[in-house]
Each structure stands twice: as structure tokens, then as C-alpha cells.
């Protein structure tokens, strides 16, 4: 495989090719529906992809850590140590694996010696396909295998989430890390983020392709309005709790929300909460539709999801709206919506196989005319979770 070859060659060039060098992979993910519901205790429906992040790694005989990414060659080698791991702005991407090593150690999974590691990812950076969760779960898998730690993949996901929350400073929910860690080929994960109860649902898309449409507008979660949206939902929840006994917005059904929404008393907070409640309901209905083989209803719910993210949650922006709305106009497009945190990144669409080429050509033309630069398109497959390769 080309990506595995790339990471092995990178490691040999930077660190030398001798000794016990092991290779690992963790996927990226796309969320089919259920956006900004994970930190609100709702349901999500992501799947792992066959693109992701690769690592080549070799233990050292001291406490040093040396980290290199072929995606950021100009950054050179980031040197650190198992002792005194701290977030440093200048370490950039390397803070993600450092954070995982730090969180694992806090839970008693402490490496006795350091390692040299080279990464290479074929997930577009800043695309919203979870390159950050991919490198976190990958690092957790490296620790698990190299040092014989006995945690399972759900714990791996929780370590990755804790690293992003506490070390990186992004108050994300569990969905991204869970989808990456628990991925299974040709299946999506129907996850209740309040309880971590989950089930696998077959993605049977006869004659239909999953097409990722990348705005090519970069965004970083930390400097987006992500934490602000989470705080707004927490405030709306706090106000609702004065009259209804709920732990999360995801616990509210739509009709209950309509009955008690007046207590929120703020139009912006009301819209944020309405998105969380209705998106949770859409996700449940979408999974039911897929189980019945009704791909058209699934597509309609995807479209409704985007409208809610645009109007109530306000996390789409000109680029994502232009891409999605252009896709809606094309023959063979069953559904399309933004995916990920928003403010740039990607849309996910379900497109009839025979229409993919015409759709991408037409959407690209519309987008470039309006935005000034072209989007990118990826026809993706649903893949497995992390593993040694």
C-alpha cells in the first residue's frame, strides 16, 4: 500500500531503518448524520473510512520522544520526553500524540521507555474528516500494542477525547474518537453518546456512492466557535432544567421541547437547543429509514440536517452552503449536508453511481464561480478501525 510505504520510508530517512520498526493505521471518519449532538447527549451515526493516518515506530532505550510527520516536513522533528509532557504552541500537530501519551499515563498506562515515530496521513488536513481523532486513536493503539497495555478500543477513544479536552483545549464530544476506534468495514455506528450504548448498522448502498466534498477552506476547532456553541447549549440546558428533569438536551423529545422551550427566554439559545433536539430525532429516524432500505428518506433527513445547522446552529458558512446547495440541484444526489464541526471542512453526499462524474463537475463549476477556488471530491469507502499492519 502506497501510504504504508511512504511512512516506512519517512521513518528510515529521519530515524534510520534498523531495529524493530512497527507500522500502524487508524482511519478517519465521516458522520453521516447527527451533528453537534455528541456533547449534547444525543445520537450520532458516523462510520470509519479507508483513508486515515499511518505510523512507523520504534522503541528507544531512554525516556525521549521524537515525533515527525511527513504531512508537515518543514516542522522537522519534535523532541519531547515522557517526563513533563506539556502543551507547547510551537509543537503544533505533535501536541495530539503528546496529549494521548500524557492521558494514558494518568490512567496508569505509563510507558517505561520513549520511542521514535513517523506519521503520514492521507486525510486532507482541516477537512473535518477527523485527522485529529485519527492521530489520537492511532497513538493510543501504538501504546496499547508496543507496551502491552490491556485497555480496549472504547478506552482508547476515551483517552483520545480526554487528550483533546484537557491537553489541546477543545471541548469535543466522544463521537470522533469513538468512530475511529470502533470502526468496522461496511458498517456505521449508531451511538447514544449519553450512555455509549451502540450498535452497528450495515451501510448497504447498492448503486450509491458516498462522496465527500471538501470546501478547501481550512479551519481549526480550537479557534472556531465550537466551544462557544457548546457553552450556549449548556446554558439552554441549564434554563430548561428549571422546569424539566433532564441531564442532557438529547434526553428531550421534540414535543417536550415545544412544551417547555419558553423558559429559555433567549432567541439564540433557543435555536441552538432546537438544533440539538431536532438533530437527535432526525438521526434516530435516519437509522430507522436505512434499516428499512429507504435511502431516499435518509437523504431527505440529511438535507434537513444541513438546513438546521445553517439556520439554527449557524455553523455552516458561505463555502459549506454553496457546496451543499449546489449538490442539491444535481441529478442523482439523494442527500447532502455539511459534516464535522463546520466553519469550513467538508460536506458528505449520497450520489447515484452513474451521476457522480456529472455531479462533481457541475458542483465544482458553481463553487469555483462563487467562491473563487475549486473544491475537492473524494469517493470514499467504509473501513475498519485501528490496527497494526
Instruction: Report which of 341, 383, 297 is spatially closest to residue 44, judged by C-alpha positions.
Output: 341
Report the C-alpha gap between 130 and 87 in whole angstroms: 20
Report the C-alpha gap between 312 and 162 in whole angstroms: 28
Write down the catalytic residue from 83, 91, 152, 176: 176
Instruction: Please say whether the beta carbons of 380 and 348 come within 8 A.
Output: no
Residue appearing with cell numbers 415545544: 258
91 catalytic? Reply is no
Instruction: Please say whether the beta carbons of 338 and 346 come within 8 A.
Output: yes
Instruction: Please say whether the beta carbons of 24 and 388 come within 8 A.
Output: yes
Catalytic residue IDs: 176
Amino acid at each position: 500500500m502506497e501510504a504504508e510505504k511512504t511512512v516506512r520510508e519517512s521513518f528510515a530517512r529521519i530515524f534510520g531503518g534498523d531495529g524493530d520498526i512497527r507500522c500502524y493505521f487508524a482511519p478517519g471518519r465521516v458522520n453521516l448524520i447527527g451533528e453537534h449532538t455528541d456533547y449534547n447527549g444525543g445520537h450520532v451515526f458516523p462510520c470509519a473510512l479507508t483513508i486515515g493516518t499511518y505510523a512507523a515506530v520504534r522503541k528507544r532505550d531512554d525516556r525521549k520522544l521524537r515525533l515527525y510527520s511527513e504531512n508537515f516536513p518543514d516542522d522537522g522533528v519534535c523532541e519531547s520526553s515522557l517526563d513533563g509532557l506539556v502543551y507547547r504552541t510551537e509543537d503544533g500537530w505533535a501536541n495530539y500524540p503528546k496529549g494521548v501519551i500524557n492521558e494514558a499515563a494518568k490512567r496508569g498506562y505509563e510507558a517505561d521507555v520513549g520511542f521514535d515515530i513517523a506519521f503520514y496521513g492521507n486525510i486532507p488536513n482541516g477537512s473535518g474528516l477527523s485527522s485529529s481523532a485519527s492521530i489520537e486513536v492511532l497513538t493510543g493503539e501504538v501504546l496499547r500494542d508496543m507496551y502491552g497495555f490491556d485497555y480496549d478500543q472504547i478506552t482508547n477513544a476515551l483517552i483520545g477525547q480526554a487528550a483533546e479536552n484537557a491537553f489541546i483545549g477543545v471541548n469535543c464530544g466522544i463521537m470522533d474518537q469513538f468512530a475511529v476506534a470502533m470502526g468496522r468495514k461496511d458498517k456505521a455506528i449508531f451511538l447514544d453518546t449519553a450512555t455509549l450504548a451502540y450498535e452497528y448498522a450495515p451501510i448497504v448502498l447498492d448503486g450509491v456512492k458516498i462522496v465527500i466534498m471538501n470546501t478547501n477552506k481550512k479551519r481549526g476547532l480550537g479557534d472556531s466557535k465550537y466551544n462557544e456553541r457548546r457553552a450556549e447549549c449548556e446554558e439552554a440546558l441549564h434554563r430548561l432544567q428549571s422546569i424539566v428533569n433532564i441531564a442532557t438536551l438529547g434526553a428531550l423529545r421534540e414535543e417536550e421541547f415545544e412544551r417547555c422551550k419558553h423558559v429559555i427566554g433567549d432567541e439564540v439559545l433557543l435555536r441552538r437547543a432546537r438544533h440539538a433536539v431536532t438533530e437527535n430525532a432526525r438521526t434516530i429516524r435516519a437509522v430507522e429509514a436505512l434499516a428499512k432500505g429507504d435511502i431516499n428518506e435518509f437523504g431527505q433527513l440529511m438535507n434537513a440536517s444541513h438546513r438546521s445547522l445553517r439556520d439554527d446552529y449557524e455553523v455552516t458558512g458561505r463555502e459549506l452552503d454553496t457546496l451543499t446547495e449546489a449538490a442539491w440541484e444535481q441529478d442523482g444526489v439523494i442527500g447532502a449536508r455539511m459534516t464535522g464541526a463546520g466553519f469550513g471542512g467538508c460536506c458528505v453526499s449520497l450520489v447515484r453511481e452513474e451521476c457522480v462524474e456529472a455531479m462533481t463537475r457541475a458542483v465544482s463549476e458553481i463553487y469555483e464561480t462563487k467562491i473563487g477556488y475549486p473544491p475537492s471530491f473524494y469517493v470514499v469507502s467504509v473501513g475498519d478501525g485501528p490496527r497494526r499492519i
